[in-house]
């Protein structure tokens, strides 16, 4: 448990390790929901997840290597939208612009269904005082600078995250 | 005979999916006085179980959770 104080808020510690559009959602959704319930939340953004702390988010999604990803159209009659297009991975790999297309289709689908954008979700996390910790080591490896990231985040290493996570009630790696 | 609650504020989360209904509920309830009632409307089928969990976690009382005309309606009393 987080502490001996029974009235202390619950605590959630997340690691966000992926920077694609599909995998950007889980940490921000869980963090904002936990924040809304009064929990103390921290997210450690490491490796490709670190790019989710850039001011302008460019997260994209690729159907390549994602065989379970539904390939559906966000427009047209219901029957058309429900078709799961059987596009072979080889086609996806070789058609220029396929990732851009898949990304824009996913964004459109999410918007149509009422899912907030990643930018909105991240802003909610900031408003809920979620600790956003960027990984120093990843910055060094990929050549990022502090000013490449939003001012609301802090920069730290494994020890910073582990200290936060050590007494968290829920810890998840995404 | 169902209890009738008089709301002090209405929050319409129609069309929003997880986690926005609970996020909006938290923001709205903080603008109320303790003891006041928030009426919340949602269309997300995940809202009923989520609002129950939210009320247990935040300590605010979920007075009523119903379904009317394809929408989910919640009455929540701010407790702290």
B49 touches chain A (CB under 8 A): no
The pLDDT value given to residue B19 = 96
B18 touches chain A (CB under 8 A): yes
The pLDDT value given to residue A6 = 74
- C-alpha B75/C-alpha B9 separation (Å) is 10
Residues of A in contact with B17 (CB under 8 A): 113-116
B38 touches chain A (CB under 8 A): no
Domains of chain A, first to last = 26-174 (3.40.1260.10)
Domain B9-77, classified CATH 3.30.110.40, yes or no: yes
In the annotation, is B18 catalytic? yes
For B57, the closest of A38, A114, A115 (CB atoms) is: A38
pLDDT mean values, one per 10 residues, chain A (174 residues): 73 98 96 97 98 95 86 90 88 88 92 93 96 97 97 96 97 97
- C-alpha B80/C-alpha B75 separation (Å) is 16
**pLDDT, mean of residues B2-24:** 92
Tell me the count of A-B CB pairs closer than 8 A: 44
The ipTM value here is 0.88
The pLDDT value given to residue A66 = 85
Does residue B1 surpass a pLDDT of 60? no
Secondary structure of A15-54 in HEC code, one letter for each residue: EECCCCHHHHHHHHHHHHHHHHCCCEEEEEECHHHHHHHC
pTM comes to: 0.91
For A38, the closest of B17, B44, B58 (CB atoms) is: B58
A94/B27: higher pLDDT: B27
The pLDDT value given to residue A68 = 86
């Amino acid at each position: 448990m987080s502490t001996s104080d029974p009235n202390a808020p619950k605590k959630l510690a997340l690691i966000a390790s992926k920077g694609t559009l599909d995998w950007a959602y889980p940490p921000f959704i869980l963090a904002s929901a936990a924040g809304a319930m009064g929990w103390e939340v921290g997210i450690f953004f490491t490796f490709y997840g670190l790019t989710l702390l850039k001011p302008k988010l460019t997260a994209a999604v690729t159907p390549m290597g994602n065989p379970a990803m539904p390939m559906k159209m966000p427009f047209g009659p219901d029957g058309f939208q429900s078709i799961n297009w059987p596009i072979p991975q080889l086609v996806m790999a070789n058609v220029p612009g396929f990732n851009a297309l898949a990304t824009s289709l996913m964004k459109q689908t999410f918007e149509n269904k009422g899912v907030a954008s990643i930018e909105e979700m991240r802003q909610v996390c900031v408003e809920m005082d979620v600790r956003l910790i960027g990984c120093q080591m990843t910055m060094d490896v990929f050549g990022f600078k502090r000013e490449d990231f939003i001012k609301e985040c802090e920069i730290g290493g494994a020890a910073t995250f582990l200290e936060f996570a050590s007494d968290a009630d829920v810890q998840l790696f995404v | 005979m169902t209890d009738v609650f008089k709301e002090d504020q209405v929050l319409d989360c129609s069309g929003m999916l997880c986690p926005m209904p609970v996020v909006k509920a938290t923001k709205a309830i903080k603008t109320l006085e303790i003891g006041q009632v928030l009426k919340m409307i949602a269309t997300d089928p995940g809202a009923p179980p989520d609002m129950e969990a939210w009320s247990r976690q935040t300590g605010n009382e979920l007075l009523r959770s119903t379904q009317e005309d394809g929408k989910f309606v919640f009455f929540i009393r701010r407790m702290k």
